[in-house]
Amino acid sequence: MFTSVRAVLSDLEVRTTRGRLIYAAITVVLLLLAVVVVVPFLYAFTSGLKTSREVFSATFQLFPAVAHWENYAQAWDYFNLPILFGNTLILVIGGLLVQLTVSMLAAYSLSKLKPIGGRFILMGFLITLMIPGIAYIIPLYVTAARLGLLGSYWGLWLSYGVNAFMIFILKNFFDGLPSEIFDAARVDGASAQQIFWHIVIPLSRPILIVLSILTFVNLWKDFLWPYLVLLGRPDLQPISVALFVVEQRSATPPNIQMAGYFMAMLPPLIIAVVLQRYMQRGLSLGAVKG
């Protein structure tokens, strides 16, 4: 955090009175933002350690009077979290693979194969970004129902396949790759498929890691569409849906609910924290290439 502050001001500016004041102001703002971001996660964690009465306390109480660690063990068994984590991983990994495959092929075609009307095709993808997702949820549901995809992971995986944002990012990245590499590969007799597998994918590894992390987090927290598709299949429901369904069907104690919710958000949080250095490299490389 403080490194980012020093990146705004040069060493010479920091030595001046005005520079020190700006440095202090930026540091205070960053600390406040850090508190705003961290406190909700901390509150979710400590709520799982409280009694139900403390959760509904009229006054803000961040830490419990006595930590009840057994609440997390009860939530683990009550919600059957191992099964829910497994369902969610199947949904997320399948959707991630389908989305990456479709997006990379589409972006590669638009960037390097130059199809007829490619500019209008890309414009069509970008137009979908301006449409709220809730606006086409009913047509999407009707289509999935007529194709017999309700109650199946395929109803989710196929709908996740096309992501206009990912296609746009990958196309810009592919546009920035040196054309000399592709020309040399074609001179050596490499086909478009060979260039894609042996040149484009290895060079795109940093940006693919970034997009994979963002997609993983986005799919993990998706609720409405999995809820509609898997409404009649509680054995397949991901954790975001199953926790809501169990809560609605039974009088779950609020402290057990909070413990379950906190454990549900741990996997994407851990992945984002552990792989943040790869995200920084990928974003920096994408900015240079783009």
The tens-digit pLDDT sequence of the chain (290 residues) is: 444 455 566 666 667 777 778 878 888 998 999 888 888 888 889 988 888 888 887 777 888 888 889 999 999 998 899 999 999 999 999 999 999 999 999 999 998 888 888 889 888 888 888 888 888 899 999 999 999 999 999 999 999 988 899 999 999 899 888 888 888 888 888 888 888 888 888 888 888 988 998 899 999 999 999 999 998 888 899 999 998 888 777 778 888 888 999 999 899 888 888 877 776 665 555 444 44
How high is the pLDDT of residue 181? 87
Provide the whole-model pTM.
0.82
Which of 3.40.30.10, 1.10.3720.10, 1.20.1260.10, 3.30.950.10 would CATH assign to domain 79-289?
A: 1.10.3720.10
Q: Domain ranges for the chain, please list them.
A: 2-74, 79-289
How high is the pLDDT of residue 288? 44
In three-state form (DSSP H/G/I as H, E/B as E, the rest C), the secondary structure along the chain is CHHHHHHHCCHHHHCCHHHHHHHHHHHHHHHHHHHHHHHHHHHHHHHCCCCHHHHCCCCCCCCCCCCCCHHHHHHHHHCCHHHHHHHHHHHHHHHHHHHHHHHHHHHHHHHHHCCCCHHHHHHHHHHHCCCCHHHHHHHHHHHHHHCCCCCCCHHHHHHHCCCHHHHHHHHHHHHCCCHHHHHHHHHCCCCHHHHHHHHHHHHCHHHHHHHHHHHHHHHHCCCHHHHHHCCCCCCCCCHHHHHHHHHHHCCCCHHHHHHHHHHHCHHHHHHHHHCHHHHHHHHHHHHHHC
